[in-house]
Amino acid sequence: MTINAGLEGIVVAETDLSLVDGTNGYLVYRGNWAKDLAISRTYEDVVHLLWRGHLPSEQESEAFRAELAARRKLPDYLKTIIAALPPETDTMSVLRTATSAIGNRGYAWPPTFEQASDILAKAPTIIAYRHALNTGRDPIEPDESLGHAANYLYMLHGEKPTRVHTRALDAYIILTAEHGLNASTFTGRVITSTRSDIASAITGAIGALKGPLHGGAPSEVDTMLEEIGTKENAEPWLRGQIEGGERLMGFGHRVYKTMDPRAVALRLVSDSFAGEDPWFDLSVHVEETAVRLLKEYKPGRNLYPNVEFWAAAVLRGVRIPTDLYTPTFGLARMAGWSAHILEQADKNRLIRPESTYVGEMPKAS
Ligand code: SDX
């Protein structure tokens, strides 16, 4: 019996939410190229597409944006919980804890669009509220007149963002909104398959995304660039990492065996900050060098930049603090997690694989 520990290539569901084509490097959201949505629509429109099955009309778009905006404010009990967590608590743990508390108001089964909207709308406020406390600033209340991306930047920086920054962050959170059965989304589906509530399922998904092999990589890309420091140091540093058996953060992917289409799209978005980003030229050089060295050391493994490599450049560009890179990935993925949870609830088949027992058997009793 072959054990497939990573579930590589195991198909467990049919979905019309997204296609992640690792051979051709395609990412499709319900019949739309994700890269086209990233330049032409807002995050709220893409959430509507994923949840309701169609891109919203102008009226639907305005109504949904307003509905999410009205749910952004944190009730006092959530502010108390967020403030009570010890100062050393990382923001992904704060997001996980606060999200689990949202559901404690007894979310009934089955999960609903309203429950999903409540959690998705509050995620940016939870992150920004904790960041303000961590940095000794007065938290800024959400502004209902701003879109999802712009309001997040406003709560973080205390000033309304530029159109360039809003567009760039919208593109990032659209491109990371949904990605098939990645580890965190599959976690959410497993929890939903037991008929547990959506807040529990998203809490579990946040826990999975936190890991550096999954969502924890973008801040590690910044650390890598900082350690490399100069173009001259790129090759020796990267060689040392690979020879030492280390993984290069922002490279490789379980599904994409060609360029991650999100990395391609975000590389174009980061061009809009090329002048402001001290690490832009270094990022271009590190990308080229790493691809060449990974081909040399790991021939046939098809290791290319994944979403995280250029996500770091875009998040740097819109001045998201490095410790908030993964939480920002988390607020984006709330869309895909919820869409899969709603889809799983419809199918409602308990997910329960098997294992092979290799331990000793007791003597016959
Ligand atoms: C995300 O699933 C998703 O869709 C995830 C995601 C999403 O949107 O939800 O796309 C988001 O998780 C992006 C990935 C972010 N993580 C990183 O950038 C961390 C670095 N990447 C690696 O850890 C790795 O590429 C994984 C975990 C992403 C995928 O690893 P796999 O498919 O399990 O590959 P593997 O461990 O079987 O490795 C195969 C070979 C090995 O070499 P050998 O031991 O056979 O000689 O490739 C090597 C690995 O050592 N390898 C790498 C590498 N990734 C794989 N070598 C150096 N650097 C790397 N980054």
- Each residue's pLDDT tens digit, 55-85: 999 999 999 999 999 999 999 999 999 999 9
Instruction: Say what the pLDDT of residue 107 is.
Output: 84
Range 242-264 average pLDDT: 95
Q: Is the pLDDT of residue 105 over 70?
A: no
Of 266, 251, 268, 248, nearest in space to 306 by CA? 251
Give me the domains of the chain, ranges plus CATH numbers.
20-214+320-346 (1.10.580.10), 218-317 (1.10.230.10)
Per the confidence metrics, is the pTM higher than 0.90?
yes
DSSP-assigned beta bridge partners for residue 27: 20
Q: Is the pLDDT of residue 277 over 90?
A: no
- Our answer to whether residue 48 is catalytic in this structure is no
Residue 101 and residue 250: Cα distance in Å, rounded? 32
- Each residue's pLDDT tens digit, 215-241: 988 889 999 999 999 999 999 999 999
Q: 40: which residues sit within 8 A by CB, 6+ positions away? A: none
- Each residue's pLDDT tens digit, 162-195: 999 999 999 999 999 999 999 999 999 999 999 9
- Each residue's pLDDT tens digit, 16-66: 999 999 999 999 999 999 999 999 999 999 999 999 999 999 999 999 999
Please name the residue whose Cα sits nearest to atom 34 of ligand 1: 254
Of 214, 216, 203, nearest in space to 327 by CA? 216
- Our answer to whether residue 179 is catalytic in this structure is no
- Return the HEC string of 292-338: HHHHHHCCCCCCCECHHHHHHHHHHHCCCCHHHHHHHHHHHHHHHHH
Q: Is the pLDDT of residue 272 over 90?
A: no
Q: What percent of the chain has pLDDT over 90?
A: 92
Instruction: Say what the pLDDT of residue 5 is.
Output: 92
Give the chain's mean pLDDT: 95
Q: Is the pLDDT of residue 289 over 80?
A: yes
- Cα-Cα-Cα-Cα torsion 335, 341, 343, 349, nearest 10 degrees, comes to 160
- Each residue's pLDDT tens digit, 314-334: 999 999 999 999 999 999 999
Is this complex's ipTM strictly greater than 0.90? Answer: yes
Q: Which residues line ligand 1 (CB under 6 A)?
A: 6, 179, 182, 213-214, 217, 242, 247-255, 298, 301, 303, 306-308
Q: Choose, from 220, 308, 340, 343, the residue flagged as catalytic.
A: 308
Range 258-287 average pLDDT: 92
Of 336, 326, 340, nearest in space to 174 by CA? 336
Determine the distance separating the centroid of ligand 1 and the alpha carbon of 250, expressed in angstroms: 9
The C-alpha angle with vertex 99 and arms to 97 and 105, in degrees rounded to 5, equals 110
